[in-house]
Amino acid sequence: MIKKSSLFILFLFVFAGLVYGQTAKSTLDGMMQSYNGEMNASASYAEYAKKAQNKSVAALFKAASAAEALHAKLLNDMALSSKLSTKALTAKINAIKTGTDVDNLKSGIAGETYEYTKMYPAFSKVAASENNKNVSDLMNRIASVEKTHAELYNKTIQDLNAKKTLPTVYYLCPVCGYVEAGSAPAKCPLCNATASSFQAFN
């Protein structure tokens, strides 16, 4: 018999393929798909935070939701400033399926891993091929942040399984979306934003 958790994870990977396109026809198409994915991730994390059984996991998902919303804003601002689009990007928010805290963290890992290993590298190449270096660079920067999110979710699962005490506060870099557990770093390790600019979520 297949466990419910296994079915849930299978659903996550299928869902990722639906929310995020596999290919991009153009730089703008890639940005539109990325924006849609980031907004769906933000909405999902916000819902995970509401349903979290563990207060620390709720705080983590609050910070993560804000991070994904920031990524969506960066993509929208770039589309407009680069004159690739004359109007704001839009998203279609899909139905959100929630599970246990660990299930939801695994959902986050699936989505973030897809983004930094497949989606953003592919879309970045399309942007570079069309001489939109600024867009390509932005996508690469976002991919780097998403990798750290996946790593943070994985560590949180390990700590939950080991029954360790989780941090009660998570800090968000308002420039790139990096999230730090416990205390704000002296500066963001990805974009060098100062600790004083970090936003706390608990």
Domain of 151 in residue numbering reads as: 4-165
CATH number at residue 155: 1.20.1260.10
- For residue 171, is it within any domain? no
Nearest Cα to Cα of residue 150 among 194, 198, 106: 106
- For residue 188, is it within any domain? no
CB-CB contact of 120 with 143 (8 Å)? yes
**Residues recorded for the chain:** 202
Instruction: Please state the φ and ψ torsions of residue 2, each to the nearest 5 degrees.
Output: -80, 130
pLDDT of 24 reads 87
pLDDT of 51 reads 98
- For residue 173, is it within any domain? no
pLDDT of 180 reads 98
- For residue 24, is it within any domain? yes
Separation in Å, CA 66 to CA 38, 50, 62, 158: 10, 14, 6, 23
Q: What is the pLDDT of residues 5-56, one digit of tens each?
A: 555 555 554 555 545 556 889 999 999 999 999 999 999 999 999 999 999 9
Question: DSSP state, 194?
Answer: B
- For residue 126, is it within any domain? yes
Q: What is the pLDDT of residues 90-101, one digit of tens each?
A: 999 999 999 999
- For residue 201, is it within any domain? no
What's the chain's Rg over C-alpha atoms? 17
- For residue 196, is it within any domain? no
CB-CB contact of 123 with 30 (8 Å)? yes
At 59, list the tokens: 């705080």
Structural domains counted in the chain: 1
CB-CB contact of 159 with 171 (8 Å)? no
CB neighbour class for 152 (10 Å; exposed up to 12, middle 13-18, buried from 19): buried
pLDDT at 2 over 50: no
**If pLDDT is split at 50, 70 and 90, which confidence band does 3 have?**
low
